[in-house]
């Protein structure tokens, strides 16, 4: 009975979001110049679902939400999906036809540390791996609040070391993540450097949530154009637990010493609330002498390439990431 009630509440939220978009566009035009109806519907419905789910859902049950999305139809002849367990941590491989010395994306999904799975981001990772001509291992790390910090980072670290144990050279690995997964990807680099372990060849951070203390000014200035209801800090609190400082370097890589980290591409949307996380992180990386490249897609909200992977702007993002990885082949091949 409760699940039916939750479903009805979510459906009502989606219908209300559709009405809001229609009314707003007819009276005021698009929320952002150039946004299509479809893009605005997606943004509004996501915001409604996240806000409603946060109010009526039980945090400890959010991790039970599993969506198994298929590989996009046009990529099914190229990408094969195979579940695997690497160093005790579950996940799945998305592989292209065999080719020597392909880059390997160690992919860490987003979801605010409380939801998400490899299956949920399978279409996005398929597009990204195909564009980059790489194999990808997508990590099914433990989620909070059942497993607070540093459980997720421990899992990602175990997978990275497990890939090395399987004979994959660290230089071939591109640690990649979006949103909370971008946090974990950056934290992995810092942890490996701190512990004197081999570093991967490169990293790609997509809409990375790097400051769990939530001090960026774009949290407020971009609140009207993003879909994330993050200002209540609920996901961060669930992940951090009772004892972790939100500015601890392994929890919020923005505050870490970044010296000695591998080349990084940091991608962010100009309309997302955590844009400042990316810009400040790249500034600090440059100050530390790290080869860091910042790309901002000016009119896009949080993790757009994951949310609308078939959109032309997302396809452009995949090309930019692929070209950057190719330009750093000396690091990852």
pLDDT band (50, 70, 90) for residue 292: very high
- DSSP H or E stretch at residue 85: strand 80-86
Q: What is the pLDDT of residue 2?
A: 57
pLDDT reported for residue 272: 96
- DSSP state, residue 253: G
Interval 184-239: pLDDT, tens: 999 999 999 999 999 999 999 999 999 999 999 999 999 999 998 765 567 788 89
- CA dihedral of residues 42, 47, 48, 54 (deg, nearest 10): 140
Confidence of residue 49 (pLDDT cuts 50, 70, 90): confident
Residues 184/108, Cβ–Cβ less than 8 Å: yes
Q: Domain boundaries in the chain?
A: 2-57, 64-332
CA dihedral 287, 288, 291, 294 (to 10 degrees): -50
Residue with tokens 């409604």: 48
Confidence of residue 300 (pLDDT cuts 50, 70, 90): very high
Cβ–Cβ < 8 Å for 258, 199: no
Q: What is the mean pLDDT of residues 292-302?
A: 97
Active site residues: 179, 272, 302
217-223 LR contacts (CB < 8 Å, sep 24+): 217/276, 218/272, 218/273, 218/274, 218/275, 218/276, 219/273, 219/274, 219/276, 220/273, 222/271, 222/272, 222/273, 222/275, 223/273
58-61-67 Cα angle (round to 5)? 125
User: Is 118 in contact with 81 (CB distance < 8 Å)?
Assistant: no
Q: Please tell me the distance from the alpha carbon of residue 10 to that of residue 124, in angstroms, as a whole number.
A: 24
- Superfamily grouping for domain 64-332: Alpha/Beta hydrolase fold, catalytic domain (3.40.50.1820)
For residue 61, name the pLDDT band (cuts at 50, 70, 90): low
Q: Is the pTM of this model over 0.75?
A: yes
The set of residues, in sequence order, having a beta carbon less than 8 Å from that of 271 and lying 6+ positions away, is: 32, 222, 225, 226, 298, 299, 300, 301
């Amino acid at each position: 009975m409760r699940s039916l009630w939750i479903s009805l509440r979510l459906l009502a939220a989606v219908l209300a979001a559709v009405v809001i978009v229609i009314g707003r566009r007819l009276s005021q035009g698009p929320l952002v110049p150039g946004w299509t109806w479809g893009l605005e519907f997606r943004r509004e419905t996501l915001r409604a679902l996240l806000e409603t789910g946060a109010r009526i859902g039980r945090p400890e049950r959010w991790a039970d939400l599993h969506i198994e999305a298929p590989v996009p139809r046009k990529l099914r002849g190229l990408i094969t999906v195979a579940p695997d367990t690497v160093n005790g941590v579950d996940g799945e491989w998305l592989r292209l036809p065999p080719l020597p010395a392909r880059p390997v994306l160690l992919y860490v999904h987003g979801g605010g540390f409380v939801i998400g799975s490899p299956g949920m981001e399978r279409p996005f990772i398929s597009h990204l791996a195909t564009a980059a001509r790489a194999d990808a291992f997508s990590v099914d790390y433990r989620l909070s609040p059942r497993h607070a910090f540093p459980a997720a980072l421990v899992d990602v670290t175990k997978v990275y070391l497990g890939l090395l144990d399987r004979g994959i050279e660290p230089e071939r690995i591109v640690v990649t993540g979006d949103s909370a997964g971008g946090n974990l990807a950056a934290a992995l680099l810092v942890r490996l450097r701190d512990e004197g372990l081999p570093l991967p060849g490169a990293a790609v951070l997509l809409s990375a949530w790097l400051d769990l203390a939530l001090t960026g000014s774009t949290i407020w200035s971009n609140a009207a154009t993003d879909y994330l209801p993050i200002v209540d800090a609920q996901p961060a609190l669930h992940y951090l637990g009772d004892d972790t400082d939100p500015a601890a370097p392994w929890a919020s890589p923005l505050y870490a010493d970044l010296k000695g980290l591998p080349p990084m591409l940091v991608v962010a949307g100009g309309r997302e609330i955590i844009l400042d996380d990316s810009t400040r992180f790249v500034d600090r990386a440059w100050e530390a002498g790290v080869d860091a490249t910042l790309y901002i897609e000016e009119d896009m909200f949080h993790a757009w390439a994951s949310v609308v992977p078939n959109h032309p702007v997302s396809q452009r993002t995949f090309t930019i990431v692929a070209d950057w990885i190719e330009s750093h082949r000396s690091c990852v091949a």
